[in-house]
Amino acid sequence: MLRRLRIENLVLIREAELELDPGLVALTGETGAGKTIVTQAIGLLLGAKGDTAAVGASASEAFVEAELDVPEGFFEEEGLETLRELRPEDEPRLVVARRVGSDGRARAYAWGRSVAREDLVAATERLLALSGQFAQRRLARPSHQLELLDAFVGPAQALRRAEAREAWRSLQGAMRRLAELEEGSGAERARLAELAALVDDTEGLVAGEEDALRQEAERGRHLTELAEGVSAALGAIDPEDGDGARSLAAAAERALAEAIAAARARGGRVVAVGTTTVRTLESWSAFGRTEGDTQIFITPGFRFQVVDRLITNFHLPKRTLLMLVSAFAGRDRVLAAYRHAVAAGYRFYSYGDAMLIA
């Protein structure tokens, strides 16, 4: 029984929802009120094909949804296997829908999940009957003809069909189980063959020799990895074709020297932003390297060769960075600046306030 019908953007109906009571319900209205559109909505639920003309002007698609009461054992019937698997737990009713896009393509749903149109029609045609052109099409279906014939025979035929359906399901289950067992036995046979080959390969193996072989294999694996790593590193440093790390580092060193020389020639200054930049530039000046780790440790008394100005944070006490700043500006000037920062409430460390040391 149809309990609820919702229509959205179907032809001229922008939005409508009907709650239907048990028994006879009459939907009346004058010509043009939309009665045909309601039957068109039911036709979609019965499997009618989508049409661009069905989509109204207020949206890009049309939507029809229905909620139906079903008799006990309905989802156990033949042909409803898909819906039986999709049915939510403790859901007594069937909720179906059709959605028609602006291109005329229609999609079917059961309880909000996409299903094939044939699966939806297999259920709705058993619960809904629409007199008119759809009735003729329904009578032409062999499945409906069989249902009518069985109903004419009587209850005994319905019982025989139920028994045959149950026997068919049992047969299908047994065939699936047989296929699983055959597949499992094939895997077991392959595993036995693998173990037998392993026994043949290890024949004559002396006790304790397995550990020695395992260690030797591990050493071989590490040697292979090391060789591959060395080969990749050499290729990156000095490849046969193109620029490698060696040539790129040389180019970076030349560009850096030219940039500093040009700034000095214009009377400019080299301003380092952050203590890491200071150590990088001074390391390059001292050792002539543009890559690798720096071991330089800047303390008071250090002679700066590159950096003329420094922008940096207020660092925490007892840190090497505080020593670097003191080496650049002098301990007394730095302590005076820090006393001012504390009195003024400046923020220290990362993401704090900064100072320019000239």
Rounded CA-CA distance 329/338 in Å is 12
In this structure, are 114 and 72 located in the same domain?
A: yes
**Domain count along the chain:** 3
Per-residue pLDDT, averaged over 32-50, amounts to: 83
* 216 in a structural domain: no
In this structure, are 180 and 44 located in the same domain?
A: no
The whole-model pTM stands at 0.41
Which CATH number belongs to the domain containing residue 61 in this structure? Answer: 3.40.50.300
**Domain end among 137, 153, 169:** 153
* 248 in a structural domain: no
In this structure, are 129 and 16 located in the same domain?
A: yes
In this structure, are 348 and 267 located in the same domain?
A: yes
In this structure, are 79 and 172 located in the same domain?
A: no
* 290 in a structural domain: yes
* 251 in a structural domain: no
- CA distances 244 to 216, 231, 238, 239, 250, Å, are 35, 13, 5, 6, 10
pLDDT band, very low/low/confident/very high, at 193 (cuts 50, 70, 90): confident
Which CATH number belongs to the domain containing residue 331 in this structure? Answer: 3.40.1780.10
Report the chain's terminal Cα–Cα distance, integer Å: 89
In this structure, are 36 and 131 located in the same domain?
A: yes
**Domain end among 143, 172, 196:** 196
* 27 in a structural domain: yes
* 66 in a structural domain: yes
Rounded CA-CA distance 98/110 in Å is 9
What pLDDT, on a 0 to 100 scale, did the predictor assign at position 15?
A: 87
In this structure, are 178 and 141 located in the same domain?
A: no
In this structure, are 111 and 79 located in the same domain?
A: yes
* 215 in a structural domain: no
Provide the β-strand partners of residue 67: 4, 95
In this structure, are 181 and 273 located in the same domain?
A: no
Write out pLDDT tens, residues 79-92.
Answer: 888 888 888 888 88
Beta carbons of 328 and 356 less than 8 angstroms apart:
no
Question: Residue 101: is it exposed, middle or buried by C-beta count within 10 angstroms (0-12/13-18/19+)?
Answer: middle
Rounded CA-CA distance 301/326 in Å is 9
Write out pLDDT tens, residues 157-191.
Answer: 888 887 887 888 889 889 988 888 888 888 888 88
Residue 47 has pLDDT above 80, yes or no: yes
What pLDDT, on a 0 to 100 scale, did the predictor assign at position 244?
A: 63
Least Cα distance to 8 among 134, 103, 98 occurs for 98
Residue 77 has pLDDT above 60, yes or no: yes
Write out pLDDT tens, residues 249-302.
Answer: 666 667 777 777 777 788 888 888 888 888 888 887 777 666 666 767 888 888
In this structure, are 149 and 6 located in the same domain?
A: yes
pLDDT band, very low/low/confident/very high, at 247 (cuts 50, 70, 90): low
| % the chain with pLDDT above 90 | 9
Q: Which domain range does residue 188 map to?
A: 155-196
* 42 in a structural domain: yes
In this structure, are 42 and 139 located in the same domain?
A: yes
In this structure, are 186 and 76 located in the same domain?
A: no
Beta carbons of 5 and 23 less than 8 angstroms apart:
no
Mean pLDDT over each residue of the chain, to the nearest integer: 82
Per-residue pLDDT, averaged over 91-112, amounts to: 90
